[in-house]
Amino acid sequence: MSNITSTRRNFFKTAAGTAAATGLLANTNVSHAAKGKDPFTYCLNTSTIRGQNLGIEAEVDTAGKAGYDGIEPWFRTIKAFTDAGGKLKDLRKRIQDNGLTVDSAIGFAKWVVDDEDQRNKGFEEAKRDMDTIAQLGGTRIAAPPAGAPWKETIDPRRAAERYRALLELGDSMGVIPQIEMWGGNGTIGRVSTAIFIAIEADHPKACFLGDAYHTYKGGSGFDGIKLLSGNALKCYHMNDYPADPPRETIRDEHRVYPGDGIAPLTKLFKNFLSINAAPALSLELFNRALWDQDALKVAKTGLAKMKSAVAKAIG
Does 22 score more than 60 pLDDT?
no
315 pLDDT tier (thresholds 50, 70, 90): confident
Residue 102: phi, psi to the nearest 5?
-100, 100
The number of residues making up the chain comes to: 315
Residue 164: phi, psi to the nearest 5?
-60, -45
Does 18 score more than 90 pLDDT?
no
Task: State pLDDT tens for residues 88-113.
Answer: 999 999 999 999 999 999 999 999 99
pTM reported for the whole predicted model: 0.90
Q: Rounded to whole angstroms, how far apart are CA atoms 251 and 178?
A: 23
23 pLDDT tier (thresholds 50, 70, 90): low
- pLDDT recorded at residue 24: 77
Task: State pLDDT tens for residues 140-197.
Answer: 999 999 999 999 999 999 999 999 999 999 999 999 999 999 999 999 999 999 999 9
For 288, what's the count of Cα atoms within 13 Å in the CB-facing half-sphere? 4
Task: State pLDDT tens for residues 192-249.
Answer: 999 999 999 999 999 999 999 999 999 999 999 999 999 999 999 999 999 999 999 9
Residue 237: phi, psi to the nearest 5?
-80, 120
- pLDDT recorded at residue 29: 46
Q: Rounded to whole angstroms, how far apart are CA atoms 260 and 309?
A: 10
**Range of weakest confidence among 26-35, 238-247, 302-311:** 26-35
Give the other-Cβ count within 10 Å of 127's Cβ: 17
Q: Rounded to whole angstroms, how far apart are CA atoms 312 and 50?
A: 29
CA 138, 142, 146, 148 dihedral sign is positive
Q: In what order do the strands lie in the sheet with 101-102?
A: 101-102, 70-72, 42-45, 280-283, 235-238, 208-211, 176-180, 140-143
Q: What is the mean pLDDT of residues 44-68?
A: 98
Q: Rounded to whole angstroms, how far apart are CA atoms 204 and 18?
A: 10
**DSSP label at residue 33:** P
16 pLDDT tier (thresholds 50, 70, 90): very low
Q: Rounded to whole angstroms, how far apart are CA atoms 213 and 194?
A: 15
Q: What is the mean pLDDT of residues 69-82?
A: 98
Nearest 10 degrees: CA dihedral of 257, 263, 267, 272? -60
Q: Rounded to whole angstroms, how far apart are CA atoms 80 and 101?
A: 21
More confident residue, 170 or 12: 170
Task: Tell me what the pLDDT averaged over the chain comes to.
Answer: 92
Q: Give per-residue burial for 89-125: e unless 16+ CB within 10 Å, then b.
A: eebbebbeebebbbbbbbbbbbbbbbeeeebebbbeb
Q: Rounded to whole angstroms, how far apart are CA atoms 63 and 306?
A: 14
Does 15 score more than 80 pLDDT?
no
- % pLDDT > 90, the chain: 88
